[in-house]
Amino acid sequence: MHRSIYLLLFIAVSCSNPPKTTPVSVSTSTGPLTAPAPIVMPHDAAMEKHVMGLFEPAEDPRFVLVNPSHADKKGLYLHQDTYGAFLKMYGAARSAGIKLQIRSATRNFKYQKGIWERKWTGETILSNGEDASKVYPNSYDRAKKILEYSSMPGTSRHHWGTDIDLNNFNNSWFESGEGLVLFNWLEANAHTYGFCRPYTLKDASRPEGYNEEKWHWSYTPLANKLTAYAEAHLEDKMITGFMGSEVADSLDVVQKYVLGINRGCVH
């Protein structure tokens, strides 16, 4: 006779008001194996604001100020778990003769809106030298071009406090000399500290999303929980409140960009 034990699987989330736990049945039967019951990520207002960047990092007790000695500017914030892991990685890199420098960290909705709209209006020229407002008069085409490297507000992993940009914003810098040494060290060691590169070269396993970013690294122990929440609850119709937001749905921005990451980063 089969015997079954029922356990409670608690979903840990990094927010001030955790949702109710969801019971999951786990059987010790010696019979044929069956697929485990799917884990449902409950809706949670605080988690949603975190995912969409609708908060001020400086006012959130989970976030800490990055020491300027680890960055190229003052005033950067990271989730405390991310920064703790970075400090360990930073120390190991220094022992190997490599200096990591954070160029960008947490960016909330308001901050990302500024980046996006400056590119949208042409105030900021794109990395290829184009004025998007003139070269791409069609909103869909303009947004798709900006999305090669910049996220729509409400969809950026930089909202989460889990993601950092390191040392340089040009892929070519990481392909020779000091940049290549640094990149090779990260590729070999970053995973030891919980970091993974979400935007690798596009291929059959990652056909959609942002272009490759060799500078962008994500702290997966926390980011994966937020990715799971976005997959369960974030919808294109929620992406609004900035220039060009009307094309978020037609661009399938959640599925192709928020979730269009290197699947090797999802554990």
Query: pLDDT for 186-228, tens place per residue?
Result: 999 999 999 999 999 999 999 999 999 999 999 999 999 999 9
Res 39 pLDDT > 70:
no
Domain range list for the chain = 45-265
What is the assigned CATH class of domain 45-265?
alpha beta
Q: Is the dihedral of CA 142, 262, 258, 118 positive or negative?
A: negative
Res 10 pLDDT > 80:
no
Integer Cα distance of 169 and 103 in angstroms: 8
Res 177 pLDDT > 80:
yes
Res 163 pLDDT > 60:
yes
pLDDT at position 143 = 98
| Residues across the chain | 267
Residue with tokens 């999802």: 266
Residues 132-147, mean pLDDT to the nearest whole number = 98
CB 228 within 8 A of CB 52: no
How much of the chain exceeds pLDDT 90, in percent?
A: 84
Lowest mean pLDDT among 33-37, 60-64, 146-150, 162-166: 33-37
Give the model's confidence band at 126: pLDDT under 50 very low, under 70 low, under 90 confident, else very high: very high
pTM beyond 0.95: the answer is no
Res 37 pLDDT > 60:
no
pLDDT at position 35 = 47
pLDDT at position 40 = 63
Q: Which residues pair with 3 in a beta bridge?
A: none
Residues 6-15, mean pLDDT to the nearest whole number = 36
Res 28 pLDDT > 90:
no
3-state secondary structure 183-205: HHHHHHHHHHHCEECCCCCCECC
Residue with tokens 């190997």: 96
CB 14 within 8 A of CB 62: yes
Integer Cα distance of 39 and 23 in angstroms: 9
pLDDT at position 41 = 77
Integer Cα distance of 131 and 205 in angstroms: 32
